[in-house]
């Protein structure tokens, strides 16, 4: 049984004040890697809506400064994984990963990481990249939250309502453009200026040009499926990888070999399919450190977000958690 959160906090604060967190890093984290996972850095107020997935730009900048001041060795993913295996991982090793590839990655995350020359891996989903329209399900959920309407007050209610929307657009075979008209209509109904939301590029992926720029700037672009889904049918699953890899190769000129499960959904049958495709590593949303005994196709990460305190963050980095 785990100890309660308040108690954990007291223990961690005590450890930090004695310098023990520092010392713990050397022992607890020997040849173990921390992979950090990020989704979005707010363009507006997205962190107030989904604090688990979005953080304000200032908080992300603080995290990068913390990594720098703490003396983290931020490594490229593939190098870190090789060094875990052959036991040459430097102390305080960290890998930074981002999921999806939204516009806010190039606008906020890249400059914050570039300040310290931190390498990063971006797991890119590619279908929406071509359309340059907001991801429909995210936009609808966000608009429901913005409406302030009682029927959309909880996250569960919004989830249910958006599922109905998605089912309807699927059953009517609406195109991406028609879906966007539905989103616009919803925005106008609740009195929001949809054009200004579009102008800020909320829930829009980077363009192929922006992604190519990111790749040229040293961002390691890897796989996250083409349509952000993992079908339980082998052929459809492999098609998601193939379509995704084709786009990534076209943009970066390199063959992607690393994968991240969309929405963190894993299943035992995915592993042989990933191996068959030649995938070398796959990351999940499970919390934990990566040791040389970890299954390379089920690598844990730490999901950073608004609710994560600096003390939590430091305890992940130290291995105390």
Q: How far apart are CA 295 and CA 292, in angstroms?
A: 8
Choose the binding region for Zn ion from 41-49, 148-156, 246-254, 260-268 (rule: CB under 5 A): 260-268
**Choice between 21 and 279, CB closer to Zn ion:** 279
* Residue 262 CB, nearest approach to Zn ion (Å): 5
Interaction pattern, residues 94-133, with Zn ion; x per rule: CB under 5 A: -----xx---------------------------------
> CB of 290 within 8 A of CB of 84?
yes
> CB of 278 within 8 A of CB of 271?
no
Longest Cα–Cα distance of the chain, Å, equals 62
* Residue 225 CB, nearest approach to Zn ion (Å): 9
* Residue 284 CB, nearest approach to Zn ion (Å): 12
Q: Compute CA distances 290 → 132, 258, 304, whole Å.
A: 36, 15, 16
Choose the binding region for Zn ion from 92-100, 179-187, 204-212, 303-311 (rule: CB under 5 A): 92-100
* Residue 169 CB, nearest approach to Zn ion (Å): 20
240 near Zn ion (CB under 5 A): no
Q: How far apart are CA 140 and CA 253, in angstroms?
A: 35
* Residue 165 CB, nearest approach to Zn ion (Å): 19
**Choice between 175 and 263, CB closer to Zn ion:** 263
Choose the binding region for Zn ion from 101-109, 145-153, 239-247, 258-266 (rule: CB under 5 A): 258-266
Interaxial angle between packed helices 234-252 and 208-216, expressed in degrees from 0 to 180 and rounded to the nearest 10: 70
* Residue 56 CB, nearest approach to Zn ion (Å): 20
**Choice between 113 and 205, CB closer to Zn ion:** 205
**Choice between 50 and 99, CB closer to Zn ion:** 99
Size of the site for Zn ion (CB under 5 A): 3
Q: How far apart are CA 120 and CA 52, in angstroms?
A: 20
> CB of 97 within 8 A of CB of 123?
yes
Q: How far apart are CA 302 and CA 130, in angstroms?
A: 30
Write out the two tokens for 321. Answer: 């958690």
Binding residues (CB under 5 A) for Zn ion: these are 99-100, 262
């Amino acid at each position: 049984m785990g100890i309660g959160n308040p108690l954990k906090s007291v223990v961690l604060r005590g450890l930090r004040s004695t310098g023990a967190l520092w010392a713990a890093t050397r022992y607890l984290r020997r040849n173990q890697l921390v992979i950090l996972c990020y989704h979005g850095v707010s363009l507006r107020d997205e962190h107030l809506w989904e604090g688990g997935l979005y953080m304000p730009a200032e908080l992300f900048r603080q995290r990068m400064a913390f990594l720098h001041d703490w003396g983290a060795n931020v490594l490229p993913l593939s190098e870190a994984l090789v060094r875990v295996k052959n036991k040459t991982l430097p102390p305080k090793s960290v890998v930074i990963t981002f999921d999806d590839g939204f516009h806010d990655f190039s606008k906020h995350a890249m400059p914050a990481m570039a300040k310290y020359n931190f390498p990063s891996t971006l797991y890119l989903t590619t279908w929406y990249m071509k359309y340059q329209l907001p991801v429909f399900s995210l936009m609808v959920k966000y608009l429901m939250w913005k409406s302030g309407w009682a029927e959309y007050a909880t996250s569960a209610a919004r989830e249910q309502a958006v599922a109905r929307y998605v089912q309807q657009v699927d059953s009517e075979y609406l195109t991406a453009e028609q879906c966007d008209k539905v989103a616009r209509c919803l925005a106008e109904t609740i009195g929001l200026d949809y054009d200004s939301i579009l102008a800020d590029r909320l829930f829009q992926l980077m363009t192929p040009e922006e992604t190519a720029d990111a790749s040229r700037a040293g961002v390691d672009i890897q796989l996250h499926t083409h349509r952000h889904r993992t079908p339980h049918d082998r052929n459809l699953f492999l098609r998601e990888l193939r379509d995704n890899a084709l786009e990534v190769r076209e943009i970066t000129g390199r063959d992607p070999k690393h994968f991240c499960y969309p929405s963190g959904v894993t299943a035992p049958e995915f592993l042989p399919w990933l191996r068959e495709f030649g995938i070398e590593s796959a990351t999940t949303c499970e919390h934990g450190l990566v040791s040389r005994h970890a299954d390379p196709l089920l690598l844990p990460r730490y999901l950073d977000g608004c609710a994560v305190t600096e003390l939590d963050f430091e305890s992940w980095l130290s291995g105390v958690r």
